Amino acid sequence: MCSKKLLHFAVWVDEAGRGAWAGPVVAAACALQIGTTYSFSSLLADSKKLSPKKRDMIFRMIQEAMSSGICFWWVWIISSEIIDQVGIREANRLAMEQAIHIVKNQINSQYDTIQIDGRDNYRFRDVGSNQVQYIIRGDTFIPEIQAASILAKVSRDHLMEDLAKVYPEYRFDKHKWYGTRLHEQLLAQYLPSNIHRITYAPIKKLIVESWL
């Protein structure tokens, strides 16, 4: 499946669901051996440009690599309730921090660097700022960040598919809980559910209007 060249890892991190109007934000940390070619390496791409079927296939391949002990990864979920309490930026930081913490334990902290998609410049417990690099639009051109992005997106999509069965009236399959015109119309008709992010301006506006 792969050829081992180095014992040291690097950790790559990305999130899914930051801009959604409902549901959790999910962060994934993925530790891959430096200099190793994986069975899924040539398939990696920007997760937004991959079909759901291909994302699921890569997700399973990364799972298989983990079961073989040649890569490590974890996802952490922060609920919409917590997002409303602490704000999406801090919720995203918490999700990344937890995912990184678990992956660091899995590899006994033997990593050279942590690369994160975005520009947030977060601070994490037990991680020195000199160990973290933030890469703007890293999920569009760095394969390892793309692996983390796929892990986060597929994990969140599967969770939201389950939640869609609980809330069928919101038509998750059509807007993925993001801020589309259809979603706005359905919210006006049904009002927010208990997994909508009520501190988000469009959701808050609907709640206030319902009180008038």
Q: Tokens at residue 203, please?
A: 């959701």
pLDDT of residue 212: 58
**Digit-coded pLDDT (tens) for 99-117:** 999 999 998 867 778 999 9
* pLDDT profile of the chain (212 residues), mean per 10: 56 96 97 90 94 96 90 97 97 98 86 90 90 94 96 95 93 88 92 93 84 64
Q: What is 9-168's CATH topology?
A: Nucleotidyltransferase; domain 5 (3.30.420)
C-alpha span between 149 and 15 (Å, rounded): 6
C-alpha span between 147 and 16 (Å, rounded): 12
Contact status, residue 198 vs residue 192, Cβ threshold 8 Å: yes
pLDDT of residue 206: 83
